Structure 1
Amino acid sequence: MGKKPEFDPKSADSILEFAQKLKNKTLRQACESEIEKHGYKGKGNFGQILEKFYFGYSPNSDTEPDFIEAGLELKSSPLKLLKKGQIRSKERLVLNIINYLEVHKESFETSSFWKKNAHLLLVFYLHEVDADLLDYTILLVGNWRYPDQDLKIIKRDWETINQKIKDGIAHELSEGDTFYLGACTKGSTAAKSLRNQPFNKEKAKQRAYSLKQGYLNHIIANIADVKQGAYGKIITAPEILDKADTIENIVISKFQLHYGKSADQIVNELGLKVNKNAKSYFANLTNAILGIELDRKIEEFEKADIQVKTVRLKENDLPKENISFPTFKYTELVELDWEDCAFKNILESKFFFVFYQFDNDKLILRRVRFWNMPYSDILEAKEVWDKMKDTISKGEIVKEVTAKGKRMTFFPKKSENRISHVRPHAKDAKDTYTLPLADKLTGLTEYTKHCFWLNANYVKDEIYLG
């Protein structure tokens, strides 16, 4: 039996007022004693327990909001605590499952997504690794309606997802296709998580609408009423989106004004005072071109989890360097499945590339491009991840140690894969991560930090010239 409701189920204000009583409490403290016998198992059980034992109802169908009469959808989501005491979302916020067979018949305004998620009641709790979920502390409670500007972008995101389904390529959906509203995988990689799609016999992975992690952090900051740091906006008024097709067009048009100019020339024309040798030089240049103050984060890019990459090209169009991603921990690599790993999440991101090309001693702005990796290429890059996981799992890391003491590894090389490879990404050889299994040849229990890289040739052929 659930807890007897202490709110008016027809009133969003009443439900929110009741929900606010959860702040700074745990589920064990907020709910009746029978919660100990909740019996729920699985990733989403915090929310199920919250629904049944605090709000007193059983989960309903996917097509209606949880509080139908109030038009309010309840969602709970974990937070993580940063070193400086700030809170951030631990993951994206998963919403309702995408019904491929029905959604292509809908418009945004009549869609199951909008019907269910137009008004959200959000409960954020601090995730603690070793704690029972009944003892997670609920830190934030609030409601969320999408501001006009965000809603225009989310509507376009929904239409982008829907168009892929209409085109018979639901199996090629990627979170990199969109800005704030994603289509994340939902369920395991097994055949049971595959679904029929209406315009192609090929089955597609089950996916759900989701708010991207960056967008969720924006919501958290608003509910907590804390400053998120210094942000600048590309789109200063919602009506700007009515005059242009997309954020992409707005951004690209600003950069096109400077194509063919050297970085120094752009700096002078914009009247910038920047240190040419500073790491932030190109980031500041990007901000200035977009009309955003230096050293400020770009709000729309942060909300969309966009990966900004500045690439310097040699005269033959080949990038001067391969593109690195964050280092991975060897222990996490062997524990995680492909669907949950950081490398897949990065490859499914939306990227913004800014290309400068060397011309003698000058760097010339050539082009910019929003890009996300095609589905077939993600599968090809997965082969590198698979090999890396297999190598670490077997403890077969070092192939040989040369006469000069250099360690040669079994890690995937650039020559083995068109898209990606693995190389060191550390201060020095002593900058290491723990191995889950000692290396068979050397007995080492730690190894120099490595990361996945995008091959320079791939960047040239598929992104710059593609």
Structure 2
Amino acid sequence: MEQRTYKTKQEVLIRGQEAIGKTLGEIDKTGRIATGKGAVGTVIEESWFGYKPNSKPAPDFEEAGVELKVTPYRRTPRGIQAKERLVCDMLNYEEEYGKTFETSAFWTKCACMLLMSYEHKDGVPKVDFTIDKAVLFQFPDEDLEVIRNDWKILMDKIKAGQAHLISEGDTMYLAACPKGRNSQDTRSQPFSPIPAMKRAYSLKSSYMTQILRRYIFGDEPCEKIIKDPALLRSGTFEERFEEMLRPYIGKSCTELKAQFGITSTAKNINELLLAAMLGLKGRLASTDEFQKASIVPKTIAIEPNGTIKESMSFPVMNFCAMMNETWEESTLYNLLAPTKFLFIIFQKTEDGECYFQRIKFWNIPADDLEEVHRVWQRTVDTLREGVHIWKDSRGRNCNNLPKASESRVAHVRPHGIDSTDTAPLPTGGSMTKQCFWLNNSYVRSQIEN
């Protein structure tokens, strides 16, 4: 197809919508679809819009001011889910910190995007995937204020000589995702001699899920915590969130239940109380901001002696699937690295009462994430070599997967219903279902910090 110029946003949109209903096989005129990762976007660029992919800092349709992004999704029991994060543009540590948000590589490229979507179906050849939507997308005001702050967080880390400590969980919607072959694929940074992992600006998959649901498939918007976007111009989301809760610090659960007329004895009573403090009608985890930022609320009860009983668990592992994962693409990495947690902290007293102490937004620091990587790698190596299982003197099953005593951060232990709740091993046989845990002592240290 000949090189074509699109001068207006409307021209770009009309051409994009003409692809709706066509399969990638029908669109592909060069055989590019078979070239591997990233091929789908290239097929749309070359064979449909008629321009050659390039690495220019300007948006794809420069005269129209529109960037093309092709995004896959899955249909799940929980609804539409973005298949992956949306990678925007490389993060150049040596240059970006000297720019404003408006002149940044991210905003220059992605202020206005043509989003074209298709449903990814496992086992279906790429050539049979069908373009089903094409919309022009510009960030709503409330999201833009959060994204501006996300960008500032990244620039502040670069200026502090901490580009090597950047993590996807540092920010809410706009993240800096790994973009190298592995963690050893690094770049220089301007304010430290320590090399930093190669990264790119990206919109988190949780954010893209909500964009797909709301702006492409027309779902009703989720309940918002911050109702007025103007409030985010003079403070971050986290600061505004903490302000809303400040009047309730120090109150007991009994007082709070009486104040809000809550009689529930549900296990998640503390999360219900927090939702009431914020004036929410629904669940905290279902709010617009928590859904977009993939914020996970976790209630933590501090015992009278200052300890925390429970470690923090993650979903049950798929032993066999782990054999085909790399760390940066592993289930555990994608559960932990991009996620921001909200610790809802209550203090227990000797008489059994609980008092709302405070909240803390937390994401795992880069150094600690690397320690989890080590625990994950030892787990994979053990599964590959064959897990050793034996019974101790009390008749309990034991194994040689990583224990809490081996790492200050994480360990592996059972998470099945009982000893008969098992999963197959890659070397044959089966064992009790296991999961990764963050050590309770580690969680306590992070709360103290």
What TM-score does the superposition give when structure 2 sets the normalisation length? 0.94
Alignment partners' CA distance in 2, 1:206 and 1:392: 30
Residue 342 of structure 2 aligns with which residue?
352
272, 282, 301: which one pairs with 2:270?
282
Alignment partners' CA distance in 1, 2:183 and 2:166: 17
Q: How does 1:148-159 map to 2 (within 5 A)?
A: 148-159=141-152
Deviations 1:347-391 (A, max 9, x none): 322111011122122111111101122222112222211111111
In the alignment, residue 176 of structure 2 is paired with which amino acid? A
Alignment partners' CA distance in 1, 2:392 and 2:439: 26
Alignment partners' CA distance in 1, 2:130 and 2:299: 41
Instruction: Report the Cα offset of residue 404 of structure 1.
Output: 5.9
Residue 441 of structure 1 aligns with which residue?
none
Residue 362 of structure 1 aligns with which residue?
353
Residue 373 of structure 2 aligns with which residue?
382
Report the RMSD for the aligned CA atoms in angstroms.
1.9
2:175 pairs with 1:189 = no
SS at the partner of 1:332? helix
In the alignment, residue 394 of structure 1 is paired with which amino acid? E
In the alignment, residue 233 of structure 1 is paired with which amino acid? K
- Could you say if the C-alpha distance between residues 97 and 177 of structure 1 is closer, same or farther in structure 2, counting changes exceeding 3 Å? same
Deviations 1:398-429 (A, max 9, x none): 1x124665321111111111111111112222
Alignment partners' CA distance in 1, 2:101 and 2:223: 29
Alignment partners' CA distance in 2, 1:71 and 1:174: 30
Residue 75 of structure 2 aligns with which residue?
81
Residue 115 of structure 1 aligns with which residue?
108
Query: Do the aligned residues in 1 keep the contact of 2:207 with 2:293 (CA within 8 Å)?
Result: yes
Instruction: Report the Cα offset of residue 222 of structure 1.
Output: 2.3
2:203 pairs with 1:211 = yes
Query: Do the aligned residues in 2 keep the contact of 1:221 with 1:227 (CA within 8 Å)?
Result: yes
Residue 442 of structure 1 aligns with which residue?
none
Residue 250 of structure 1 aligns with which residue?
240
Alignment partners' CA distance in 2, 1:295 and 1:100: 39
Query: Do the aligned residues in 1 keep the contact of 2:32 with 2:42 (CA within 8 Å)?
Result: no
Deviations 1:155-182 (A, max 9, x none): 1111111111111111111011111100
Instruction: Report the Cα offset of residue 337 of structure 1.
Output: 1.0
2:119 pairs with 1:126 = yes
Q: Give structure 2 stretches of 5+ with no counterpart.
A: none
SS at the partner of 1:67? coil
Q: Percent identity?
A: 36
2:431 pairs with 1:447 = yes
Q: How does 1:231-380 map to 2 (within 5 A)?
A: 231-243=222-234, 245-269=235-259, 271-276=260-265, 278-295=266-283, 297-348=286-337, 349-359=339-349, 360-380=351-371
2:16 pairs with 1:19 = yes
- Could you say if the C-alpha distance between residues 238 and 83 of structure 1 is closer, same or farther in structure 2, counting changes exceeding 3 Å? closer
- Could you say if the C-alpha distance between residues 182 and 274 of structure 1 is closer, same or farther in structure 2, counting changes exceeding 3 Å? farther
Alignment partners' CA distance in 2, 1:71 and 1:151: 18
Instruction: Report the Cα offset of residue 25 of structure 1.
Output: 2.4
Query: Do the aligned residues in 1 keep the contact of 2:33 with 2:127 (CA within 8 Å)?
Result: no
- Could you say if the C-alpha distance between residues 401 and 26 of structure 1 is closer, same or farther in structure 2, counting changes exceeding 3 Å? same
What TM-score does the superposition give when structure 1 sets the normalisation length? 0.91
Alignment partners' CA distance in 2, 1:40 and 1:75: 19
Alignment partners' CA distance in 2, 1:135 and 1:4: 26
- Could you say if the C-alpha distance between residues 3 and 262 of structure 1 is closer, same or farther in structure 2, counting changes exceeding 3 Å? farther
Alignment partners' CA distance in 2, 1:272 and 1:44: 53
Alignment partners' CA distance in 1, 2:153 and 2:340: 14
SS at the partner of 1:327? coil
2:437 pairs with 1:437 = no
Instruction: Report the Cα offset of residue 455 of structure 1.
Output: 0.9
SS at the partner of 1:239? helix
Instruction: Report the Cα offset of residue 126 of structure 1.
Output: 1.4
395, 398, 416: which one pairs with 2:406?
416
SS at the partner of 2:323? helix
Q: Give structure 1 stretches of 5+ with no counterpart.
A: 439-444
Alignment partners' CA distance in 2, 1:362 and 1:402: 38
Query: Do the aligned residues in 1 keep the contact of 2:33 with 2:43 (CA within 8 Å)?
Result: no
2:89 pairs with 1:96 = yes
